């Protein structure tokens, strides 16, 4: 008979969390027996989250600057978010996209309203990778006349690990095991170098895909002039510009979307991660003109756009707007960046460079950061690495002044 763990969570008068386990059958290593060995597990157990704070099974409080890889922009367990999801659970959880649904309609309408006018139709899916897959197929459908269509991506880019998205992902670490299945129809330009893009364009080129702030490679914002020139080049050559906002969207960079920093309008925008506050959703947004190039049945989803996740996305966007979280991202991000860049000026410190926009920050060190992240955890701060020598700081957009000061204090001690 399987054993289950039941925990009672309450708070004492000082507000410290108390956890009393009714049995101790579950341990850190329990999952490993049944879970595929594709994940590197942490050495502690998280059982609850609230706002910017996570709690482990021993009652310790951590400031979460990982947020599920930039998913939890509205923080953990937002009361309004929970209330709306609970109500939707009572009404309807799942119905395929062929059935009209008011909750889905409200989300589709809202996405059209918060993006530029030309981006007026959306395909809803379940993840960032799926949003990229839909964009690839849409670009191909628009260019059916090309016998060998090519897409330009960028060095250091990360767009996902499914076979389609993996074609656009640069890092050979992810690509090498699957090279026999990958296409040669993707060319990689140098990020920030418009001339390298021009050299790759030929009669078969149909699209360019870009992260305007490269996340997985260490948080590299595109130079302003480069982004503008890239858009102009795509217009001139009649190429589709695909903007991957999977990590940067919904306020992460101090703007609702990263393309707003550059005053450009992409032809296709891919979203996911933060869109539904922690529930799985992806969105591929483009114009009616482009979507009309695809036929019914050429792309599909079973779970995409189900009412429960649409309700979650509606709640997430409403919270971001009502609580001015984009503005708080810009404010707290500027505070962090200013402090960290001052630290980087000291040659005696371990920090080599600080990059970022809003609350998407990369701190590049002169040493490997694995041990630094472990030390931060011991000081109750959760950070995320990007490669061997960069720490990413991705807190919820609800993070407050006191929590920011604590984060900066820990990082200063690490350097």
CA nearest neighbour of 271 among 258, 260, 261, 287: 258
- Average pLDDT score, the chain: 93
Per-residue confidence (pLDDT) for residue 309, from 0 to 100: 98
Residue 26 confidence class, pLDDT cut points 50, 70, 90: confident
Average pLDDT over residues 281-285: 98
Per-residue confidence (pLDDT) for residue 351, from 0 to 100: 96
Per-residue confidence (pLDDT) for residue 17, from 0 to 100: 46
CA distance 117 to 391: 37
Per-residue confidence (pLDDT) for residue 6, from 0 to 100: 31
Per-residue confidence (pLDDT) for residue 9, from 0 to 100: 38
Average pLDDT over residues 381-406: 97
pLDDT for residue 1 is more than 60:
no
pLDDT for residue 21 is more than 60:
no
Average pLDDT over residues 252-277: 98
Contact, 277 vs 315, CB < 8 A?
Answer: yes
Per-residue confidence (pLDDT) for residue 234, from 0 to 100: 98
pLDDT for residue 32 is more than 60:
yes
Alpha helices in 4-99, H assignment, sequence order: 67-70, 79-91
Percent of the chain with pLDDT over 90: 89
Q: What is the pLDDT of residues 119-167, one digit of tens each?
A: 999 999 999 999 999 999 999 999 999 999 999 999 999 999 999 999 9
Q: What is the pLDDT of residues 296-311, one digit of tens each?
A: 999 999 999 999 999 9
Residue with tokens 């050559």: 237
pLDDT for residue 10 is more than 80:
no
CA distance 309 to 71: 14
Per-residue confidence (pLDDT) for residue 20, from 0 to 100: 41
CA distance 381 to 374: 9
Residue 397 confidence class, pLDDT cut points 50, 70, 90: very high
Q: Domains in the chain, please, with CATH?
A: 80-322 (3.40.640.10)
Helix-strand-coil percent breakdown of the chain, rounded to 5?
Answer: 35, 20, 40
Per-residue confidence (pLDDT) for residue 24, from 0 to 100: 59
Higher pLDDT among residues 318 and 347, named by residue: 318
Average pLDDT over residues 313-320: 98
Residues in Cβ contact with 316 at an 8 Å cutoff, skipping those fewer than 6 apart:
73, 74, 81, 250, 274, 275, 276, 277
Phi, psi of 195 (to 5 degrees): -65, -35
Per-residue confidence (pLDDT) for residue 347, from 0 to 100: 87
Q: What is the pLDDT of residues 211-250, one digit of tens each?
A: 999 999 999 999 999 999 999 999 999 999 999 999 999 9
Q: What is the pLDDT of residues 179-207, one digit of tens each?
A: 999 999 999 999 999 999 999 999 999 99
The continuous run of DSSP H or E covering 129 comes out as: helix 128-142
Contact, 154 vs 191, CB < 8 A?
Answer: yes
Per-residue confidence (pLDDT) for residue 101, from 0 to 100: 98
- Name the least confident of 24-28, 111-115, 132-136, 338-342: 24-28
Give me 212's structure tokens. 């305007």
The continuous run of DSSP H or E covering 209 comes out as: strand 205-210
Average pLDDT over residues 37-65: 95
- DSSP letters of 134-164? HHHHHHHHHTTT-SS-EEEEETT----SSHH
């Amino acid at each position: 008979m399987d054993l289950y763990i039941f925990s009672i969570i309450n708070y004492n008068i000082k507000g410290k969390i108390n956890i009393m386990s009714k049995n101790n059958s579950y341990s850190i290593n329990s999952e490993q027996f049944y879970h595929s060995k594709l994940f590197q597990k942490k050495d502690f157990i998280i059982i609850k989250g609230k706002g910017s704070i996570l709690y482990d099974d021993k009652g310790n409080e951590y400031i979460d600057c990982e947020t599920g890889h930039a998913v939890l922009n509205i923080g953990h367990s937002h009361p309004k978010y929970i209330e709306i999801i609970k109500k939707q659970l009572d009404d309807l959880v799942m119905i395929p996209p062929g059935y009209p649904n008011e909750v889905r309609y409200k989300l589709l309408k809202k996405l059209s309203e918060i993006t530029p006018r030309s981006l007026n139709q959306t395909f809803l899916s379940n993840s960032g990778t799926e949003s990229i897959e839909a964009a690839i197929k849409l670009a191909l459908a628009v260019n059916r006349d090309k016998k060998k269509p090519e897409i330009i991506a960028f060095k250091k880019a990360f767009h996902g690990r499914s076979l389609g998205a993996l074609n656009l992902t640069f890092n050979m670490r992810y690509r090498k095991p699957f090279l026999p299945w990958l296409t040669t129809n993707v060319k990689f330009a140098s990020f920030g170098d418009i001339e390298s893009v021009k050299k790759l364009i030929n009669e078969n080129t149909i699209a360019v895909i870009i992260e305007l702030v490269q996340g997985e490679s260490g948080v590299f914002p595109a130079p302003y002039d480069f982004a503008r020139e890239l858009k102009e080049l795509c217009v001139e050559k009649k190429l589709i510009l695909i903007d991957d906002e999977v990590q940067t969207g919904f306020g992460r960079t101090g703007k609702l979307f990263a393309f707003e920093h550059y005053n450009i309008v992409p032809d296709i925008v891919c979203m996911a991660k933060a869109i539904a506050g922690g529930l799985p959703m992806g969105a591929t947004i483009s114009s009616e003109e482009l979507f009309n190039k695809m036929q019914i049945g050429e792309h599909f989803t079973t779970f995409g756009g189900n009412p429960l996740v649409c309700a979650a996305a509606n709640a997430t966007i409403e919270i971001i707007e009502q609580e001015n979280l984009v503005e708080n991202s810009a404010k707290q991000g500027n505070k962090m960046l200013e402090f960290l860049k001052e630290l980087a000026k000291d040659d005696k410190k371990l920090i080599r460079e600080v990059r970022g926009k809003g609350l998407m920050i990369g701190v590049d060190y002169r040493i490997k950061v694995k041990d630094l992240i472990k030390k931060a955890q011991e000081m109750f701060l959760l950070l995320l690495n990007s490669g061997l020598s960069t720490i990413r700081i991705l807190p919820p957009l609800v993070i407050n002044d006191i929590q920011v000061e604590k984060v900066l204090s820990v990082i200063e001690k690490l350097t």
